[in-house]
Structure 1
Amino acid sequence: MQLYGLKACDTCRKARKALQNQQVDYIDVRDGSVPDAVLAAALAKFGDALLNRASTTWRGLDAVAQAGDPLALLKAHPALMKRPLIVHDDGEMTLGWKPDVAAYYAALPGA
């Protein structure tokens, strides 16, 4: 399982702490890149919800950039991705760390 997030993100820290007993590879999206196939699959699954329109990065973009291709935006500005994005070895994905997602991971074996 891979967790894509940011080191400074409080939500990502909560997820990392909750998943500390799981086999999770943590990838900071600013330090390492999210593979193109993962980004494309996440965009196909979550659509525009994958873009964090509340972020300072988003607010710093002009209207032309904001209207651009979401995949290109995420590649150019990885901090635009809503987080954490958790990808299981079987390809299953979750986005964010809302109570329903946290409960899902709490119910996994070894949690």
Structure 2
Amino acid sequence: MTTLFGIKNCDTIKKARAWLTEQEIEFTFHDYRKDGLELQWLQQAEQNLGWEQMLNKRGTTFRQLSDEQKQNIDKESAMALMLKHEAMIKRPILIHNDNYFIGFKADQYSEVFA
């Protein structure tokens, strides 16, 4: 089973979904905003990927944090922020055969689905 997690209008999500569709790979798309985000799923993803890799530091939401918040970020605060602001989760997160992958690169996906 393959599930892609993210936000529907994200350009990287659009590329990943298009790639999966072009390769005729069946997948389920879970939109954080439409389908929700559960703490249990976030914790499972963090165990597999690490919060540092999951935290989207390039987005507007992160940039709007105070300098103090940015400097003092740790696992606990990062998890709370990602749960509250799903845009702070790097996208997409792909789960394929119980393995977790983050981001989209066609070469990486080609290896995952080889």
- TM-score grouping bracket, smaller chain normalisation: 0.7 to 0.9
Aligned residue in 2 for 1:94: 101
Q: Which structure's residues are more often helix, by fraction?
A: 2
Taking the TM superposition and a 5 Å limit, the aligned residue runs for 1:12-23 are 12-20=13-21, 21-23=24-26
Aligned residue in 2 for 1:35: 38
Other structure's SS at 2:33 match: coil
Give unpaired runs (5+ residues) of structure 2. Answer: none
> Residue 91 and residue 34 in structure 1: after superposition, are their counterparts in 2 closer, same or farther (change >3 A)?
farther
- Asked if 1:104 corresponds to 2:111, the answer is yes
Aligned residue in 2 for 1:44: 47
Distance in 1, matches of 2:8 and 2:82, equals 17
CA contact (8 A) 1:4 1:86 kept: yes
CA contact (8 A) 2:19 2:106 kept: no
Q: TM-score, normalised by structure 2?
A: 0.79
> Residue 99 and residue 17 in structure 1: after superposition, are their counterparts in 2 closer, same or farther (change >3 A)?
closer
Aligned residue in 2 for 1:72: 80
Per the TM alignment, residue 26 of structure 1 is displaced from its structure 2 partner at its CA by: 0.8
CA RMSD of aligned residues (A): 1.9
Per the TM alignment, residue 40 of structure 1 is displaced from its structure 2 partner at its CA by: 0.9
Runs of 4+ aligned residues of structure 1 deviating over 4 Å after TM superposition are none
Aligned residue in 2 for 1:58: 62
Distance in 1, matches of 2:112 and 2:20, equals 7
Per the TM alignment, residue 99 of structure 1 is displaced from its structure 2 partner at its CA by: 4.3
Distance in 2, matches of 1:35 and 1:91, equals 18
Give unpaired runs (5+ residues) of structure 1. Answer: none
Aligned length: 106
